[in-house]
Amino acid sequence: MGLKFPRLAGWASRRVSLWLLLLALVVALLGLLVWLAGRYESSQVQTRLEHNAGEAAIDIRSGLNRNLQAFQALHTRERTVESWHAAARQMLHEKREILRLEWRDEALGLADFVETPFRASVFERLARDSRQADVGQTCMAARRISEAAYSPSYFLPQSDGLGMEVSDMCLPIMEAGRLTGYTVATYSLQGILGELVSKPLSRGVALSFTEADGTRLALYGMPARGSRVFIAQQLLDLPGTTMVIRMESRLGTPSLFPNVLTALVTAMSLALLVVLFLLGRDMRRRLQAEHDLGEALAFRKAMENSLLTGLRARDLQGRITYVNPAFCQMVGVPAQDLLNQSMPSPYWPPELAGIYQRRQEMRLAGSHLPREGHESVFMRRDGTRFPVLIMEAPLINAVGKHTGWMSAILDVSEQRRTEELSRASQDRLQASARLAMVGEMASLLSHELNQPLAAISSYATGSLNLLQGEAEDAMDSGNAGGAASALLLDDLQLAMRRIAEQAERAGKVIKSVHDFVRRSERVREAVAPQALLDAIMPLVTLQARKLGVRLAVEVDAACPPVLCDRTMVEQVLLNLARNGMQAMQGGDETGAAALSVQTEKLLTLRIRPAASNALSQWNEFAVIDRGQGISDEVARQLFTPFFTTKQEGMGLGLSLCRTVIEQHGGFLGYESACPQGTIFSFTLPVAAQAQARAQPVHQDN
């Protein structure tokens, strides 16, 4: 036991030594901190004082320069002594640092002078003439440097037993490069310090002018006393003289400051330990909360990025506060260009922006919005429009406050495209069904009409035979009545032959339509273009006479025969000719008025060689009318089956005509005629070229 106590005593002494050493280090650290703080404070005070001294020198130079400008302004125009005297007196009322202002001629003779009204004359005890030599030297120096010059300061005794330090300034007066006189101003050095230095710089400090050896010339303010006096000096270099501006300040640190600083540092050290402990515990909790929040945010972000539905959040003013990647991809605009955007939004079509803005203002004005969706149209960055379905609901924060609106946007363009395709498919199915019905009707009509037409042809042939026998009997009688009967019989025979021809032609047309509907093999032959016109001209002429239309036929003799289904091509020509004549009838008052200016209704049938090459030759058939033309709305559906502008039409004429021409390898189209009207034209292959192209194929078969 006796051995343990010395060990415990040694351990305790070492612990005390360590604590004493630690305490000594803390005290030394605090003392060093206080000393460094004092040094830093002193350096800051000295730096600020030197800066203020420099600012004071700048203020004095600026004030003297402003005075020079004022002196020059006194002689900017012709002045009399009286006017100069009044202006100078006004100037001395404003500038108290100037004690006396003189106007001297070029020989330094005194023309006029003005003294400050704020004190008695400074030259009362010492006459102004006693300083004439000094004024002459100063003005000579000013003339030599062609600018204002200042004299060294000198002392002027006053009548009250005191005195003041002053300095003269001489400014040459030049007119057209010629010296006309001088302006001499007597400055009070103390007035310069009090009037030209700004008040914030001179407050709480002592300003003085000193010579280079430290002799004080003038003082403004109370001089500082004590050991902790801060002094700053600044050189004021003026033309002709140099002075030193001295600034003194008693800005020291209080004696209690080190004790307060030590206590403050100790308290702050203890508080720092406690704060560090609390901060460590709070940091652990914060890290755990941030980890949980990061996991939740990552999970929510993954969900939002995987959505195909566009999400958009807006505040109460309609500004966009959040968009997900699906919405940005939908409109083709990055998120940074959408956030904080108000109305109009960049994805609104310009032609609908006004409507959307009014609608949004109405929706945003209400606190509760319906949750059912509404359709709209958005615009991508490339200008393409697409339909969307928008579902909008109020956005409520954690405390139940309404902060904005949340919108879910669905791109329904694919759905609309599918619906449009389905609708188009149904329209095509309906058109196909109607065409099938037309085909069945055509087959039925061709079957049912063949027998009546055959009967008509037989009756016509029998009538011709009877009429021919009667004509021979009338000719055998040889009298005048018999001759008249013979002529009548000839006319009847001509009419019956025409009936037989048209009945035969109607049968051929029905057979061609039947073959066309059944898609059977066509029988094509080489036909002269003139023969095609001659076949339809009786019907065209009859209708033209009925409608008051004049016909014009232009057939180029150089047109070779064409290879075609004669009956079907004749029907195409007949259909186009009838359409042209009906187009010139003026369906309304506007059309009638427009056609009234024409001299006649003219339908032109033209056949000429078309543009050809070495491989193929074509003939062009054209039907030209002088109607009102075809509007843009009608032109878009002109060749659509079952589309018609006629009340009694079925809308199959032009569609069937185009099909017939395309089956022949040609093209049916239209263009506007000049000055008005429409040209419908189609092409047919030349017979020799068509047979030559078909021959190798036939040989291969």
Q: What is the pLDDT of residues 326-340, one digit of tens each?
A: 888 788 888 777 787
Instruction: Single out the residue in 440, 464, 497 at which a domain terminates.
Output: 497
Instruction: Single out the residue in 409, 439, 459 at which a domain terminates.
Output: 409
What pLDDT does residue 698 have? 39
Is the four-CA dihedral 265, 267, 268, 272 of positive or negative sign?
Answer: positive
**Contact between 563 and 525 (Cβ < 8 Å):** yes
Q: Which of 69-73, 516-520, 531-535, 636-640 has the lowest mean pLDDT?
A: 516-520
* pLDDT level of residue 623 (50, 70, 90 thresholds): very high
In the predicted model, what is the mean pLDDT of the chain?
76
Residues 580 and 537 occupy one common structural domain = yes
Residues 77 and 194 occupy one common structural domain = yes
What pLDDT does residue 170 have? 93
Residues 584 and 543 occupy one common structural domain = yes
Q: Which of 88-102, 356-370, 377-391 has the lowest mean pLDDT?
A: 356-370
User: DSSP letters of 565-613?
Assistant: -HHHHHHHHHHHHHHHHHHTT-SSHHHHHHHHTSS--EEEEEEEEPP--
Q: Which of 494, 493, 492, 504 is nearest to 457 (CA)?
A: 504
Q: Evaluate if residue 522 carries a pLDDT over 90.
A: no
Helices of type H across 389-479? 413-477
125 domain-assigned: yes
pTM: 0.38
What pLDDT does residue 700 have? 35
40 domain-assigned: no
Residues 551 and 695 occupy one common structural domain = yes
3-class SS at 350? helix
Residues 685 and 541 occupy one common structural domain = yes
Q: Which of 380, 395, 382 is nearest to 320 (CA)?
A: 395
Q: Which of 251-260, 640-649, 660-669 has the lowest mean pLDDT?
A: 251-260
User: DSSP letters of 33-90?
Assistant: HHHHHHHHHHHHHHHHHHHHHHHHHHHHHHHHHHHHHHHHHTTSS---HHHHHHHHHH
Instruction: Single out the residue in 497, 531, 557 at which a domain terminates.
Output: 497
* pLDDT level of residue 488 (50, 70, 90 thresholds): low
Q: CATH number of the domain at 352, please.
A: 3.30.450.20
What pLDDT does residue 309 have? 80
Tens digit of pLDDT for each residue in 627-640?
Answer: 888 888 887 777 77
Across 172-183, average pLDDT: 86
145 domain-assigned: yes
**Contact between 468 and 536 (Cβ < 8 Å):** no
Across 95-114, average pLDDT: 88
Q: Which of 137-151, 243-257, 280-294 has the lowest mean pLDDT?
A: 243-257
Across 604-623, average pLDDT: 82
47 domain-assigned: no
Residues 102 and 78 occupy one common structural domain = yes
Residues 665 and 613 occupy one common structural domain = yes
The residue segments making up the domain with residue 606 are: 522-700
3-class SS at 162? coil
Tens digit of pLDDT for each residue in 14-60?
Answer: 656 765 676 667 666 666 666 666 666 677 778 888 888 899 899 99
Tens digit of pLDDT for each residue in 440-483?
Answer: 565 555 555 655 666 666 666 767 676 666 666 666 655 555 55
Residues 446 and 556 occupy one common structural domain = no
Q: Evaluate if residue 258 carries a pLDDT over 60.
A: no
Highest-pLDDT range among 115-129, 440-454, 543-557 = 543-557
- Helix (H) and strand (E) counts in the chain: 17, 22
Residues 493 and 592 occupy one common structural domain = no
What pLDDT does residue 355 have? 82
Q: CATH number of the domain at 685, please.
A: 3.30.565.10
* pLDDT level of residue 485 (50, 70, 90 thresholds): low
Q: Evaluate if residue 310 carries a pLDDT over 70.
A: yes
Residues 171 and 243 occupy one common structural domain = yes
554 domain-assigned: yes
Share of the chain above pLDDT 70, in %: 69
Question: CA geometry: angle at 603 spanning 491 and 654, to 5°?
Answer: 100
Question: Of residues 295 and 651, which shows the higher confidence score?
Answer: 295
**Contact between 88 and 158 (Cβ < 8 Å):** no
Residues 603 and 668 occupy one common structural domain = yes
Residue 495, classified by CB atoms within 10 Å of its CB into exposed (0-12), middle (13-18) or buried (19+), is middle
208: which strand partners? 219, 246
638 domain-assigned: yes
**Contact between 182 and 174 (Cβ < 8 Å):** no
Highest-pLDDT range among 218-222, 363-367, 454-458 = 218-222
Highest-pLDDT range among 212-216, 231-235, 323-327 = 231-235
Neighbours of 100 (CB within 10 A): 21
Number of domains in the chain: 5
Task: State how far the Cα of 290 lies from the Cα of 562, in Å rounded to an integer.
Answer: 89
Residues 427 and 290 occupy one common structural domain = no
Q: Evaluate if residue 414 carries a pLDDT over 90.
A: no
